[in-house]
Every structure is written in structure tokens, then in C-alpha cells.
Amino acid sequence: MVIIATDGRKRANLHSRSIRHELCSTTRTKYYWICARFRKTIRNKVFVGALSLGTAALHFGLILLGVQAGDKVICQSMTFSASANPIVYQGATAVFVDSELDTWNMCPNAFDTAIKDRISKGKKPKATIAVNLYRMPFNVDQIRAIANEYEILILDDSAESLGSTYRGAHCGTFGDISVLSFNGNKIITTSGDGANVIKNIDLKNKAIFLATQARDNAQHYQHSAIGYNYRMSNICDGIGRGLMEVLDKHSQKRHEMHAF
């Protein structure tokens, strides 16, 4: 079985033994919210909440960071629109900054200038969305140092950079919350879907609660908060966990093509 995208291109070959095994096992279980394969890959104590879209993971990241209507969120201008759209979903305002030549990602100097400008106008930014564009990590050390100085939260948009590293650390671990995507144009795909990488177990539990329509622990359908239908299906989870087995091989091929 081969997944075919709407444009006719192959997306994933399901003849792989590992994928068949994962599909068989996942159909006998409930939804998988902790992506153990990714946690094993990055060798880091994080919680990974699997969601229906990378854009959903960006939206969820802002929700979990407490971004609300009226807040300001800094975002680099050179990125896909999905990085910025969730800011508007929350009723917040995007503050766009330029990118640097070395990484094509957020310029630390422009980031610092934008923060000072917003503070001078009476509204310190609540968070920033730092993107690892085209699998190239942003300048993590400088962006993190500036964010810490002003107590600004970082949403690490690693939608395109699964498998890339920065000084030995994996993309998808640089933010207070991070984002992954498994869309059809990514290094591994579940045909769509995404994930939040969360370092705090309380936020992880909140993510699971909100992603399943915020259903209360009751025998009947009871909801005391606004929830979302952002969960990944168990079938897609099985495909993704199987493809994680070849992530290193795919990353190595990318390096070989770059060096060619």
C-alpha cells in the first residue's frame, strides 16, 4: 500500500515491515499521545502530544503559552503563513521582524529592537514564534538570551526541521513549547498531522484535555471549558511511528545531497 497525495506523488510506502507492525498494534489501542519514538530519538525528557495538523500544533502552542486577545507576538516575516495565522486565531497581533543572512531565520538584532519598540509603546510582547526554516535552526543561543532577558516565551516552530540539530540538540526542543509537522512535504509524513513538544507535565495534561474537546471526567458529556478536536487518529499515529524508524536514514540523505 502506498499513500498518494492529491497531486499524484507518492508520500509513503506502507510495505515496510515496521509500519505494518505499528499499524496492526495501534488499531488495537486507543490514541497515542506520547510519541515514544520521537522521545527516544532526541534522548530528552519531554512530552509529545500528537495532533491533527502542524498548524493545530502552532495554535495549541499559543493557547498553552497563554496568548490571548490583545497580546503581541513576534514572528519572523520570512516563513510560511501557518506560522503567523494562529496568532490571529487568538485575537493577538503579529509583530513581524526581518531575518538574518546566515540562517534566513529571525535576526536577533531585529528581535531585540522589536521588543524595545513594543515596550516603549506600552505593550511588551507575550511570546515569539521562532522558525527553523528549511531545516536550518534559528540562532538559538542569541534568541533565547534575548527572550530570557525580557521574560518572553518562545514557541519553537520546527515544522520543517525534524531530524536537524543545533550544537547537538534536536530541533523541536528549543522553545518553551515546540511544534512538529508530519505533512506530506516533510521528511516523514503521516499524510498530515503534527505535534507539540512540551517540557511540563501539567501543560501536557492540559493539551490532552483540550485536544479531546475538553471533555470533563464524567459519565455523561460534560464540558466546562472550550475544547478542540485536534487529536491525531491512531491509524496516522501508527504510520508515523513506523516512519520514525527511517528518520536518521532520510536525514543522512539530506546531508549527502547538500554536500554533493
Give the pLDDT confidence score for residue 83 in this predicted structure.
96
* Residues 115 and 123 sit within 8 Å (Cβ to Cβ): no
Highest CATH level, class, for 2-214+224-255: alpha beta
pLDDT tens-digit readout, 151-171: 999 999 999 998 889 999 989
Domains of the chain by residue range: 2-214+224-255
The percentage of residues in the chain with a pLDDT greater than 70, rounded to a whole number, is 83
CA pair distance 98, 89, nearest whole angstrom: 22
pTM for the whole thing?
A: 0.84
CA pair distance 145, 131, nearest whole angstrom: 16
Instruction: Inform me whether the pLDDT recorded for 3 exceeds 80.
Output: no
